[in-house]
Amino acid sequence: MTTIATDGRTMAGDGRGHCRGTVITDDDRKVTRLPDGRIVGCCGSHSDASVFIDWLENGGEHPKLDEDFGALVLMKTGAVEWYSGRPRPMTPQLPTAIGSGMDMAIGAMIAGRFPGEAVAIAAQRDIYTGGRITVEAIEQSDKARTSREG
C-alpha cells in the first residue's frame, strides 16, 4: 500500500512501490499537483491512479477502481476530499491520511508533526511505506485569493 497524509495545507506521500511483498522502487511519486492547483495523493495501483487523475482533470463518468484504491484531493481552499473507489467523496476530519500507515500518520499529525514527518514516522513501522517522501503545499497566493473571493 502506501501512506498519504494531509493537514489541509500540505500533502505528503512515500515513494515505496511493491509487488506481492517485493519492493520494486523507493522512488515512486504518489502526490501530484494538478494544473488547476489541486493536490492529489493516491494509494493503490498505478493504473487506477492514472485513470483517477485523468477523471479529475477531464471529468466524465466516474471510473471503476479497485476496492483497494484510495485518494485524497487537497483543494486550493484547504478543503480535502477522500475518495475510495466510489464516485462520491467523503469530507474527512483533518488531519487525515490514507493507506497502510494511515493510523500512525494521523497520530503523528495530531501530536504536532507535519505531513512529511508523519509519513516518515509511519515508514519506521509500516513495511509498505518507505523511500523518498514527496511533499506538496497549497500556494499561499491561491489560498488567499480563494478566501477573498469566497
d(CA 55, CA 74): 16
The answer to whether position 18 is within a domain reads yes
pTM listed for this prediction: 0.90
**What percent of the chain clears pLDDT 70, i.e. is strictly above it?**
92
3-class secondary structure for 56-95?
HHHCCCCCCCCCCCEEEEECCCCCEEEECCCCCCECCCCC
Supply the pLDDT for residue 72: 98
Q: Which residues lie closer than 8 Å to 27 by C-beta, 6 or more apart?
A: 15, 131, 132
> What's the total number of domains in the chain?
1
Q: What is the CATH number of the domain that holds 25?
A: 3.60.20.10
Q: By C-alpha distance, which of 126, 119, 123, 63 is closest to 96?
A: 119
Residue 148 located in a structural domain: no
Residue 147 inside a domain? The answer is no
Identify the domain containing residue 112 by its residue range. Answer: 3-142
Is the confidence at residue 145, as pLDDT, over 80? Answer: no
Residue 71 falls inside a structural domain: yes
Q: What is the mean pLDDT of residues 12-25?
A: 92
Q: Is the pLDDT of residue 113 over 70?
A: yes
| Residue 150 located in a structural domain | no
Q: Assess if residue 103 is contained within a domain.
A: yes
Pairing between strand 80-83 and 96-99? unpaired
How much of the chain, in percent, has pLDDT values that exceed 90?
A: 76
> Is 31 inside a domain boundary?
yes
- Residue 149 in any domain: the answer is no
